[in-house]
Structure 1
Amino acid sequence: MSFLKRALLATLLVAPFSSHAFALDKPTGEVILTVTGPNLQHPNAGAAAEFDLAMLEALKGRTGTMETPWTEGKVTFSGPLLHEVLAAAGAQGTTIKVRALNDYAAEIPMEDATDLDTILATRMNGETMSIRSKGPLFLIYPFDQDKNLYNEKYFSRSVWQIKAIEVTP
């Protein structure tokens, strides 16, 4: 078999397993996050991308133990990386508006997702977060990786009780 045929065969065999190559599955559990934007490439609910907890936790993520202004002592957060959630939805743009259940919203630059290991936390100390404990989702900056992020600029972007993300061009 020629090199070109082997390369084509390898591509065909690997493509179904490559991340975000196909349409985003529909959630089977309760929808906890809706991603919207004019350039969404992988919608699964009309023009939006909806995620349940299992879908989010299946994405590449990170666990970080850190102190925050909203918690007592060191706390361990885990969940998908924000850029992985955006990639799964096929979201492209320059600004991300993160909206909470109470309609509080923060605009953050796309670089906060692409250049930092920002977590869309689904768990705190190993437990899923209830609305009372700032869940179901909490945008956590990598305070454990870069102490320079521990300031009001990033605190104001650390939205909790997240329900939606809108990506704008």
Structure 2
Amino acid sequence: MSLFRSPGLLLGGMLASLLSSIGSQALALEAPTGPVILVVSGNITETNLGNEAHFDHDMLQSLEQRETMTGTPWHEGKMTFKGPLGRSLLETVGAQGEIMRIDALNDYSASVPVEDFREHDVILAMSADNRRLRVRDHGPLFVIYPFDEEPSLLNEDVITRSVWQVKAIEIK
């Protein structure tokens, strides 16, 4: 029997394939297996715990990574920071908003345009000069802009958005 003579069989196969791909997308954000270091909430479509997306170290490592060698106002000389691209995180959680509130462990928070993560190679640095960032070194996550690549970013507004000790991001 030919598939062309059995439209029901062809249609059934296409429907099964479509449902299979939809089902796999719904399970794209798995639950963390290690300690949670970042919680993303707000206007997002992909979650793994209630209406939030929780990430452990390995989950963040699995996102698209970037190294940024740059000077910062908080360090002497240039350092090489490495971590997931901000836009990769936004894509992973299906961010739909315009503003992010980024909260730090020390209760500092900053409002950051979502556009910053989409238009610039901003990273959530997890290491500096090949050393994992600890809380005492501005970790576990530090918002790093590519200041040396884009000198126009080195201004007071952007500096206040460079949150260290990041613990949560709310998309508004």
TM-score normalised by length of structure 2: 0.84
Q: Which has the larger radius of gyration?
A: 2
Please give the alpha-carbon distance, in whole angstroms, between the structure 2 residues aligned to 1:22 and 1:86: 17
For structure 2, which runs of at least 5 residues remain unmatched after alignment?
A: 5-9
- Paired residues in the alignment total 157
What is the distance in 2 between the residues matched to 1:46 and 1:82? Answer: 22
Task: Give yes or no for the alignment of 1:129 onto 2:160.
Answer: no
What's the CA shift string for 1:86-132, capped at 9, x where partnerless? 21112210001100001100001111011111101111111110000
SS at the partner of 2:48? Answer: coil
Match of 1:30 in 2: 35
Q: Distance in 2 between matches of 1:150 and 1:133?
A: 21
What is the SS of the residue equivalent to 2:161? coil
Q: Summarize the alignment of residues 70-81 of structure 1 with structure 2, pairs less than 5 Å apart.
A: 70-81=74-85
**Contact 1:23–1:43 (CA under 8 A) maintained in structure 2:** no
Q: CA deviation at 1:61?
A: 1.7
- Name the residue aligned to 1:161: 165
More off after superposition, 69-78 vs 85-94: 85-94
Aligned to 1:118: 122
Equivalent residue letter for 2:57 = L
Structure 1 match to 2:152: 148
Please state which structure has a larger fraction of its residues in helix.
2
Q: Percent identity?
A: 47
Spell out, residue by residue over 1:5-25, the C-alpha distance to the aligned partner (whole angstroms, 9 max, x if none). 9xx7xx87xx69x9x774301
Q: State the Cα deviation string for residues 17-69 of structure 1 (Å, max 9, x = none).
A: x9x774301001110000000x3211101110000011001100210111101
Rounded to whole Å, the distance in 1 between the matches of 2:79 and 2:108 is: 24
The whole-number CA distance in structure 2 between the counterparts of 1:117 and 1:107 is 18
Structure 2 counterpart of 1:89? 93
Gaps of 5+ in 1: none
The separation in 1 between residues aligned to 2:71 and 2:96, in whole angstroms, is 31
CA distance in 1: counterparts of 2:169 and 2:98, whole angstroms: 13
The match for 1:138 is 142
